[in-house]
């Protein structure tokens, strides 16, 4: 099968939006240090660009969770892969996610982090696919773009580990 990619959100549009989100975070957290908690691996490219648009003391941490099962069986099971124990107590944490899809990952992360006694926890996501949501009440404080129910790749997002380094977000088509 042939894989083709159609641009959905271009490089300049992403860059503009990342600058706006960075400025908003800079304003909202004025006088504080923020800890960006990137989700491996999808959130890495977004985090790298966003971090440089926040004019505050920025710390970076990373977390890896896997969600397994599919929609018909054992959907929504999330497992922590890394780190075994995160030291985030007292920190202002902003989770930096590539995409909120069904919402299991983001919801699990928020619950998990609240148990570590941080000063605050907010969610920042590059993309949101609200049509696919299964978990109610996932609040995205900082959002790049809302997209339709399409499988997308690029700017951190992958298909079978490919396409993460594309500078744009594109729809993946199998032909």
Q: Which of 57, 87, 101, 158 is catalytic?
A: 101
DSSP run (H or E) holding 14 = helix 11-28
DSSP SS3 for 46: helix
**Of the candidates 22, 42, 144, 154, which one interacts with ligand IMP according to CB under 6 A?**
42
- Is 163 a residue that touches ligand IMP (CB under 6 A)? no
Tell me if residue 101 is catalytic. yes
What are the residues binding Mg ion (CB under 5 A)?
Answer: 39, 42, 98
**Of the candidates 67, 118, 119, 145, which one interacts with ligand IMP according to CB under 6 A?**
67
User: Which residues are 48's β-sheet partners?
Assistant: none
Nearer to Mg ion, 29 or 98 (CB): 98
Residue 174 Cβ vs Mg ion, minimum distance, rounded to whole Å: 21
CB of 43 closer than 8 Å to CB of 60? no
CA distance linking residue 117 with residue 156, whole number of Å? 29
- Is 105 a residue that touches ligand IMP (CB under 6 A)? yes
Describe the strand order of the beta sheet including 33-39 as a list of residue ranges.
77-82, 57-68, 33-39, 92-100, 120-128, 142-146
Q: Which stretch binds ligand IMP (CB under 6 A): 54-62, 81-89, 102-110, 114-122?
A: 102-110
Angle of helix 44-51 relative to helix 11-28, nearest 10 degrees, comes to 60
**Of the candidates 102, 110, 116, 143, which one interacts with ligand IMP according to CB under 6 A?**
102
Apex CA 73: angle with CA 70 and CA 74, to 5°? 90
- Is 169 a residue that touches ligand IMP (CB under 6 A)? no
Q: Which stretch binds ligand IMP (CB under 6 A): 19-27, 48-56, 86-94, 98-106?
A: 98-106
Contact set with ligand IMP (CB under 6 A): 42, 67, 97-106, 151-153, 157
């Amino acid at each position: 099968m042939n894989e083709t990619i159609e641009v959905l959100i271009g490089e300049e549009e992403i860059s503009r939006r990342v600058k706006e989100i960075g400025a908003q975070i800079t304003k909202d957290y004025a006088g504080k240090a923020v800890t960006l908690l990137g989700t491996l691996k999808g959130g890495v490219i977004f985090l790298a660009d966003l971090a440089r648009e926040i004019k505050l003391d920025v710390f970076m941490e990373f977390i890896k969770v896997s969600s397994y099962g599919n929609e018909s069986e054992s959907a929504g099971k999330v497992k922590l892969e890394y780190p075994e124990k995160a030291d985030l107590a007292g920190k202002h944490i902003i989770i930096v996610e590539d995409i909120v899809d069904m919402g299991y990952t983001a919801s699990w992360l928020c619950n998990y982090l609240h148990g570590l006694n941080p000063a605050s926890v907010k969610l920042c996501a590059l993309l949101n696919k609200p049509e696919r949501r299964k978990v109610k009440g996932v609040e995205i404080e900082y959002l790049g773009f809302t997209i339709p129910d399409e499988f997308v790749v690029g700017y951190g997002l992958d298909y079978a580990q490919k396409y993460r380094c594309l500078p744009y977000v594109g729809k993946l088509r199998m032909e």
